[in-house]
Structure 1
Amino acid sequence: EAPGADEDKQGIPFVGRAGRLLTDIIEKGMKISREDVYILNVLKCRPPGNRNPLPDEVANCRGYLERQLEILQPKFICCLGTVAAQNLLETTVAVGKLRGEVHDWRGIKVVVTYHPSYLLRNPAAKKYTWEDIQLLMKQMDA
């Protein structure tokens, strides 16, 4: 998505409560260090009022995101939430329908799951995120 207030202050993505949950997913669930994972935001700055980014804001930052991905050359991408998934995959399909399968973005395998802040508000969805993380790990092992 975009940096939240805590992320904006510290210049690091996912540092608040959602960040702690994401760290647990990465380190406890996937058994890898968060330092070995590169985290990008669709938007590079925080929208006013911490609202979701508008289409023109996303379009303005799209080149930066694509350039970062060109430089990083990831083998796998995990989109966290609606904004990331819909913007990377250029679709309007809901996360609930995108999750649970492997997508392709320019030859890179993409798995979609719920945003950690959504999981904090809807703990029952954690089981689906765990399924998605298992799918991602299977792809990484293949």
Structure 2
Amino acid sequence: MQRPCIGCGALIPSGSRCGQCRPKRPPTPRRKGRTATDWRWRKLSQKLRRLSPFCEKCLATSDLTVDHIIPPTERPDLVYEILNLRVWCRSCNGSRGNRVTDQERQQVLDAIAARSLRVETRNASNRY
């Protein structure tokens, strides 16, 4: 069944506009860092969702995502840092937005510093 184009009225087989009347979309800029197609991020996200198969906030078990505690826009160097990630459902993650409290930020940075100190101490004791 053919329909008329809403732009020029010509009969078209499908859609609402013919190729000439269809608005041209500007190319989307490529984001730097983590994207949904980034292999490393996909593997890390799958691993974390497998290890924690529920939302850490509301305990939901469906539509899980991995949330950055400190957003990548603030600290791009922590994108793949496991201590900066948590499993939340999509609704909890969406309601949080891009906000982080000073307490949450400090907890993440303290945990990273403590891990670095443990690694240094372990490496120093293995030298002798």
The TM-score range, normalised by the shorter chain, is under 0.3
TM, length-normalised to structure 1: 0.25
Higher normalized contact order (CA 8 Å, seq sep 6+, divided by chain length): 1
Relative to total residues, which structure has the larger helix share, 1 or 2?
1
Larger radius of gyration: 2
- So what's the TM-score if we normalise by structure 2? 0.26
